[in-house]
Every structure is written in structure tokens, then in C-alpha cells.
């Protein structure tokens, strides 16, 4: 069975759980608590699995995969149905672009290790940390909102009426932004799609829940 090294609140893990659920794949969760025991991602055992000390990692028999996008694209390759990407090359590219805006440009700036570095190295206050977080969400989400209205390809989901890679990246980032009390009023399209996505069984099943509670 597939093994997912997972932290319940990690948005990168949340993405992979959604993809696994959507493709109806069985998987075992191996919890890696990012806060307990000094951060279990730094343990020798996990460092061996992912030298980046980041979750998620997916293990398929003797193969270890890291990076949520690479993992999800692997799942797409080995289980093509239901597909996470539209068949049209242009639409495929815009879906990937949307997901990458979150994966490569929003999420890395607000990741735990970045926030911890700002706090411990530069001594920033909680308020400054929140400002930093909100700033990058605002920059990123404004562009995504504008892109969705410009493309005019949205239906109930970011692109059309089927869940795609774009929604898999949007929902966890919205969840994260809400945890950090971002004001999301300026992004009505993102909010509408997120609300719709939350009723999807693959997303409901992937919802962050602490395994220990
Ligand atoms: N680009 C990576 C990001 C992975 C990542 O940043 N994971 C976070 C949780 S969302 C993590 O493990 N953080 C641990 C830390 O910051 O020490 C992916 O998409 O998989």
C-alpha cells in the first residue's frame, strides 16, 4: 500500500491527500509532526526519506517521492482516471500555471521554516509575522482572482466543472490563509470556488484532522 508521510495541517500534504482520494487510492498515513519533538521532519529516520526535511513524501513499495506536484503528477501518470488536468494543451497549461503560482510563489514564502527563520534570526514580532504572511497572500491571491476572471474558464471549479490540479492547490492555501486570519473579501471568485470544493468527497476526506485527537 502507498504510504504518505503527512502532517495533518500541512497544506502541501493536504494537496496530496486530495489527489489520492480523488483517484480512490488506498494509503497509509505515517504522521510526521512538524512541531512535536523539535520537529519530527528533522529526525534521522525522516531525513533519510526526505533530506529536505519537508512533508509530504510518498512511498510506493521501494520508491520514495517528494514534492507535492511531482507526487501528484506521478499519481496522474500511474492512475490517469479521473484526470486532474484538462485534455486541451492551453487549458492544461493554465491549470498548471495556477497551481504553480501557489506551489512556487505563494506557499514557499509563508512556510513554517521561513516564518521560524524570520522570528528567530531577525527577531520579528507576531504582528510582523502576520503582516508578512498577509502581504504574500494578498499579492498572490489578487493575481489568481484576476487570472480566473480574465480566463473566463471557471465553472463550479477553477477551470470548468471538474476538480483539477488548480483546485487541489487552491483549497489548502485558502485553508491556510483562513488559519492566519487573512481577509478574503477581495477574492469572491476564489471564495466561491473554495466553498463549492469543500463539498467534494475527496476534499472532505482529506480535511486536516489531527490523528492524535
Ligand atoms: N514544495 C514543497 C513544499 C513542502 C513544504 O514546504 N512542506 C511544509 C509543510 S506545508 C513542511 O514540511 N515544513 C516543515 C518546515 O518548515 O520545517 C511541496 O509542494 O511538497
Give the rounded percent of residues in the chain with a pLDDT score beyond 90: 97
Ligand 1 atom with least separation from CA of 16: 20
Give the rounded percent of residues in the chain with a pLDDT score beyond 70: 99
The chain-wide mean pLDDT, for the chain, equals 96
- What is the rounded CA–CA span in Å between residue 21 and residue 74? 14
Output the nine-digit C-alpha cell for 117: 527563520
Cell 498515513 belongs to which residue? Answer: 29
- What is the rounded CA–CA span in Å between residue 205 and residue 96? 24
How confident is the model at residue 99, as a pLDDT? 98
pTM over 0.95: yes
How confident is the model at residue 210, as a pLDDT? 74
Residue-wise pLDDT for 134-192, tens only, equals: 999 999 999 999 999 999 999 999 999 999 999 999 999 999 999 999 999 999 999 99
pLDDT exceeds cutoff 60 at 10: yes
User: Is the previous residue joined to 67 through a cis bond, with omega within 30 degrees of 0?
Assistant: no
Structural domains of the chain in order of their starting residue, each with its CATH number: 2-82 (3.40.30.10), 89-202 (1.20.1050.10)
Candidates 37, 40, 111, 129: which one to mutate for ligand 1, based on the most atoms within 8 Å of Cβ? 111
Candidates 6, 9, 11, 12: which one to mutate for ligand 1, based on the most atoms within 8 Å of Cβ? 12
- What is the rounded CA–CA span in Å between residue 57 and residue 45? 13
Output the nine-digit C-alpha cell for 33: 509532526
pLDDT exceeds cutoff 60 at 213: no
Ligand 1 atom with least separation from CA of 69: 19
Q: Grade residue 211 by pLDDT with cuts at 50, 70 and 90.
A: low
In 3D, which of 68, 38, 72 has the Cα closest to residue 55? 68
Ligand 1 atom with least separation from CA of 108: 6
Ligand 1 pocket member 111 (CB < 6 A): yes
In 3D, which of 137, 158, 3, 131 has the Cα closest to residue 71? 3
Interval 84-108 mean pLDDT: 97
Amino acid at each position: 500500500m502507498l504510504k504518505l508521510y503527512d502532517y495533518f495541517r500541512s497544506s502541501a500534504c493536504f494537496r496530496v491527500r486530495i489527489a489520492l482520494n480523488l483517484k480512490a487510492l488506498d494509503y497509509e498515513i505515517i504522521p510526521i509532526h512538524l512541531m512535536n519533538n523539535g520537529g519530527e521532519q528533522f529526525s534521522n529516520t525522516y531525513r533519510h526519506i526526505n533530506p529536505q526535511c519537508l512533508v509530504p513524501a510518498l512511498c510506493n513499495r521501494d520508491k520514495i517521492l517528494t514534492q507535492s506536484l511531482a507526487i501528484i503528477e506521478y499519481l496522474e501518470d500511474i492512475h490517469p482516471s479521473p484526470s486532474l488536468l484538462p485534455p486541451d494543451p492551453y487549458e492544461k497549461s493554465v491549470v498548471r500555471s495556477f497551481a504553480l503560482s501557489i506551489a512556487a510563489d505563494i506557499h514557499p514564502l509563508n512556510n513554517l521554516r521561513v516564518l521560524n527563520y524570520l522570528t528567530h534570526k531577525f527577531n520579528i514580532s507576531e504582528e510582523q509575522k502576520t503582516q508578512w504572511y498577509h502581504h504574500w497572500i494578498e499579492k498572490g491571491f489578487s493575481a489568481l482572482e484576476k487570472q480566473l476572471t480574465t480566463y473566463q474558464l471557471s465553472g463550479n471549479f477553477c477551470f470548468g466543472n471538474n476538480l483539477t490540479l488548480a483546485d487541489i492547490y487552491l483549497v489548502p492555501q485558502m485553508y491556510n490563509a483562513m488559519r492566519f486570519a487573512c481577509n478574503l473579501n477581495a477574492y469572491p471568485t476564489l471564495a466561491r470556488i473554495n466553498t463549492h470544493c469543500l463539498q467534494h468527497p475527496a476534499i472532505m476526506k482529506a480535511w486536516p484532522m489531527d490523528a492524535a485527537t
